[in-house]
């Protein structure tokens, strides 16, 4: 088996006016050019020389320029016929690996795992994709009829129900799928992915775990440059990193890092360079120029006295830029202002929000976890006879498993299996939608008088709250805590976005403020559910946990409501929450970010 790497190059609009209209592969990122970094990544999965597909509008000197940037490491083709000629020796057991650097994974391509998945599922195409960044944690589609009346609202959450793909970084396709020969060069991997689907090739999308940079946009390139410069400076231990040889830096020039200067770069008298900035090989910053947060391309020239900020600069001379390109070069990226790269790809790709760290009691999370695990272990041993007896009663009462395992969302939206003694007939979940019209609650949870799905033993277990005892296993393994918001499935958590963000920032609990403080049960109390969950997250601490557990015992599991003022003094502010340390600034792939859309 052999992997044939094919890289699709392009010329972004912001690169117009560069030497030969600079291609994306010639962009400097950190200590090297993008083409060099990509060739190094490909060596992990293939010993073959990568084939570079030239942009459709490539300048006449493109082949020589790319070959000079990566001597002996690439083969350049400019047509589908040339690519077909390169791939003639490919056998049916081989794999074609197409790469599009416009969608650049923030933390490496991880091609080894992609190839490993392809070997496990032969005959299937695997696509490395980037999903759209969320807006406020969610995206809504409002469905209306021809009269403009709202019929339904569909809300999408990352990563549970998030189908919005905005970039394809790589496609790994078996030759045996019959995709050769390609009738035309793909303009993007989006097109190639659709081509494979139209040919009936089974496909599997693999999410880029840490997000991706959109190098087709100027702000995306700046974000990738910023991350790479910060990484290079951190690894080198200096504020300014010089790579290679031949640098000329005038003694009167002022450099304020982090900055990476590649080989042959020149910084002339009184020039000021403010980082994060990268100066490409052979580039020149002329006298009295000022650049801040700029990616200067290979062989580019920043004119004397010029001021640049938040830009990708590829122009080699003012004369080489036509009027249209000059107008584009003078503007700042429209999407940059105040937003460039301030969304960490790692944070965006993972779910809702990280757990808050209470600055006033940094010992509290560790002590809480140790107490939970110890108490759960002791309780499981002490209650073992009761658990066995209850299991026998459930088994004798009705057909089905003794324990009910339901998927709930834990910290950060991570799903886990929540255990309870089964209190309903087997298949009760499937009956809930049919009974929805009899629901007495005002929120997404469900409750009705004399629920026909509840078994005889189940009614007794619910009255005594003994059905919750198996959740001690969830507490022991760390999925839950003794005290916290009620564990809920995704279906219930999607109703209120800020509430979801807050309650999923901590471990769910067997008991909590809602269970012991709620007092509008008959009227439906979703509003109280939201209020008490967020109140607990805001005030969580050892004393509050102790009060909630004591109240749970004294009220027989919340049979009688406890005034909130007994737990939290009115007007008392919550603990100071320390902000989560931010990742190096970066910009991830995103579509037009419209929170609400109407669909007829």
Q: Is the pLDDT of residue 498 over 90?
A: no
C-alpha distances out from residue 169 to 108, 173, 310, Å:
11, 13, 25
Count of CB atoms within 10 A of residue 505's CB? 18
pLDDT tens-digit readout, 411-421: 988 899 999 99
In 3D space, the residue among 523, 529, 520 whose CA is nearest the CA of residue 499 turns out to be 529
Helix (H) or strand (E) run with residue 36 in it? helix 34-42
pLDDT tens-digit readout, 69-80: 776 678 888 888
User: Residue 599, SS3?
Assistant: strand
Buried b (16+ CB within 10 A) or exposed e, 375-406: ebeebbeeeeeebeebeebbeebeebeeebee
Structure tokens at 588: 């991830």
pLDDT of residue 317: 63
Vertex 458: Cα angle to 452 and 461 (nearest 5) = 145
**Cβ atoms of residues 587 and 225 within 8 Å:** no
Vertex 269: Cα angle to 268 and 271 (nearest 5) = 75
pLDDT band at 21 (very low <50, low <70, confident <90, very high): low
Distance CA 557, CA 546 (A): 14
Structure tokens at 167: 């970039």
pLDDT of residue 346: 39
pLDDT of residue 359: 41
Instruction: Give the contacts of 526 (CB within 8 A, at least 6 positions apart).
Output: 441, 442, 443, 444, 445, 495
Distance CA 413, CA 351 (A): 6
pLDDT of residue 180: 77
What percentage of the chain exceeds 90 in pLDDT? Answer: 36
Which has the higher per-residue pLDDT, 62 or 545? 545
Tell me what the mean pLDDT of segment 456-465 comes to.
Answer: 88
User: Residue 370, SS3?
Assistant: helix
DSSP 18: S
Domains and CATH numbers, the chain: 3-214 (3.90.550.10), 218-332 (2.160.10.10), 357-578 (no CATH)
Distance CA 237, CA 231 (A): 10
Count of CB atoms within 10 A of residue 449's CB? 7
Tell me what the mean pLDDT of segment 50-73 comes to.
Answer: 81
In 3D space, the residue among 139, 162, 156, 141 whose CA is nearest the CA of residue 600 turns out to be 141
Helix 62-69 and helix 34-42, axial crossing angle in degrees, nearest 10: 70
Q: Is the pLDDT of residue 573 over 70?
A: no
pLDDT of residue 321: 45
DSSP 583: P
pLDDT band at 511 (very low <50, low <70, confident <90, very high): very high
pLDDT of residue 443: 54
User: Residue 58, SS3?
Assistant: coil
pLDDT tens-digit readout, 98-149: 999 999 998 888 899 888 888 888 888 999 998 887 666 677 788 888 888 8
**Cβ atoms of residues 175 and 94 within 8 Å:** yes
User: Residue 548, SS3?
Assistant: helix
Distance CA 163, CA 480 (A): 29
pLDDT of residue 361: 65
pLDDT band at 363 (very low <50, low <70, confident <90, very high): confident
Distance CA 581, CA 344 (A): 10
Distance CA 277, CA 30 (A): 9
Q: Look over the chain and give the mean of its residue pLDDT values, rounded to a whole number.
A: 81
Which of 66-75, 501-510, 535-544 comes out lowest in average pLDDT?
66-75
In 3D space, the residue among 63, 52, 53, 49 whose CA is nearest the CA of residue 20 turns out to be 63
pLDDT band at 522 (very low <50, low <70, confident <90, very high): low
What percentage of the chain exceeds 70 in pLDDT? Answer: 80
The backbone torsions φ and ψ at residue 597, rounded to the nearest 5 degrees and listed phi first, read -130, 145
Helix (H) or strand (E) run with residue 458 in it? helix 456-464
Q: Is the pLDDT of residue 150 over 80?
A: yes
The backbone torsions φ and ψ at residue 524, rounded to the nearest 5 degrees and listed phi first, read 85, 125
Distance CA 475, CA 413 (A): 17
How much is the pTM? 0.67
pLDDT of residue 502: 87
pLDDT tens-digit readout, 190-223: 888 888 888 788 888 888 887 899 998 999 999 9
**Cβ atoms of residues 299 and 281 within 8 Å:** yes
**Cβ atoms of residues 4 and 46 within 8 Å:** yes
212-214 and 103-105: which strand pairing? antiparallel
Alpha helices in 70-188 (DSSP H): 80-86, 111-120
Distance CA 342, CA 338 (A): 8
**Cβ atoms of residues 35 and 75 within 8 Å:** no
Residue 512 CA, distance from chain mean position: 30
Report, in angstroms and rounded to the nearest whole number, the Rg of the chain calculated over CA atoms. 30
In 3D space, the residue among 180, 193, 204 whose CA is nearest the CA of residue 92 turns out to be 180
């Amino acid at each position: 088996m052999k992997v044939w790497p094919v890289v699709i190059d392009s010329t972004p609009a912001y690169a117009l006016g560069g030497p030969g209209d600079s291609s994306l592969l010639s962009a400097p990122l950190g200590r090297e050019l993008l083409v060099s970094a990509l060739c190094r990544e490909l060596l992990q999965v293939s010993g073959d020389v990568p084939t570079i597909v030239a942009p459709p509008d490539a300048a006449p000197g493109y082949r020589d320029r790319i070959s000079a940037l990566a001597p002996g490491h690439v083969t350049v083709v400019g047509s589908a016929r040339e690519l077909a000629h390169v791939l003639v020796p490919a056998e049916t057991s081989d794999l074609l690996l197409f790469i599009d650097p416009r969608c650049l994974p923030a933390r490496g391509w991880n091609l080894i795992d992609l190839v490993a998945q392809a070997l496990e599922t032969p005959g299937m195409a695997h696509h490395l994709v980037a999903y759209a960044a969320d807006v406020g944690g969610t995206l809504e589609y409002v469905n209306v009829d021809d009269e403009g009346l709202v019929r339904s609202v569909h809300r999408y959450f990352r990563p549970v129900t998030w189908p919005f793909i905005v970039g394809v970084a790589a496609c790994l396709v078996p030759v045996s799928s019959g995709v050769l020969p390609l009738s035309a060069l793909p303009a993007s991997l989006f097109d190639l992915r659709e081509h494979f689907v139209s040919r009936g090739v089974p496909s599997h999308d693999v999410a880029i775990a840490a997000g991706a940079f959109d190098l087709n946009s100027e702000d995306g390139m700046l974000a990738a440059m910023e991350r790479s410069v910060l990484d290079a400076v951190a690894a080198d231990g200096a504020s300014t990193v010089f790579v290679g040889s031949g640098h000329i830096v005038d003694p009167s020039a002022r450099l304020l890092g982090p900055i990476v200067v590649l080989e042959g770069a020149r910084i002339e008298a009184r020039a000021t360079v403010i980082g994060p900035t990268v100066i490409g090989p052979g580039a020149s910053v002329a006298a009295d120029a000022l650049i801040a947060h700029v990616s200067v391309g290979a062989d580019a020239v920043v004119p004397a006295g010029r001021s640049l900020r938040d830009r990708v600069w590829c122009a080699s001379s003012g004369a080489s830029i036509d009027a249209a390109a000059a107008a584009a070069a003078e503007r700042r990226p429209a999407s940059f202002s105040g937003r460039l790269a301030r969304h960490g790809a790692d944070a965006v790709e993972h779910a809702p929000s990280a757990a808050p760290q209470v600055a006033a009691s940094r010992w509290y999370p560790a002590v809480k976890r140790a107490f939970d695990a110890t108490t759960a272990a002791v309780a499981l041993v002490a209650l073992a006879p009761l658990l066995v007896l209850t299991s026998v009663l459930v088994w004798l009462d009705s057909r089905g498993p003794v324990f009910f395992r339901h998927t709930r969302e834990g910290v950060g939206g991570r799903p886990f299996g929540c255990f309870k003694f089964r209190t309903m007939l087997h298949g009760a979940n499937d009956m809930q939608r049919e009974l929805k019209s009899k629901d007495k609650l005002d929120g997404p949870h469900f409750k009705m008088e004399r629920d026909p799905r509840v078994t005889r033993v189940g009614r007794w277990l619910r009255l005594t709250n003994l059905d919750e005892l198996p959740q001690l296993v969830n507490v022991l393994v760390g999925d839950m805590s003794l005290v916290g918001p009620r564990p809920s499935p995704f279906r219930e958590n999607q109703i209120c976005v800020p509430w979801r963000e807050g309650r999923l920032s901590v471990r769910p609990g067997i008991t909590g403020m809602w269970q012991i403080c709620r007092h509008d049960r008959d009227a439906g109390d979703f509003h109280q559910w939201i209020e008490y969950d967020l109140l607990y997250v805001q005030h969580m601490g050892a004393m509050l946990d102790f009060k909630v557990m004591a109240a749970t015992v004294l009220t027989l599991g919340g049979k009688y409501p406890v005034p909130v003022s007994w737990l939290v003094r009115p007007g008392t502010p919550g603990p100071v929450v320390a902000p989560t340390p931010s990742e190096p600034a970066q910009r991830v792939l995103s579509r037009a970010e419209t929170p609400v859309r109407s669909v007829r």
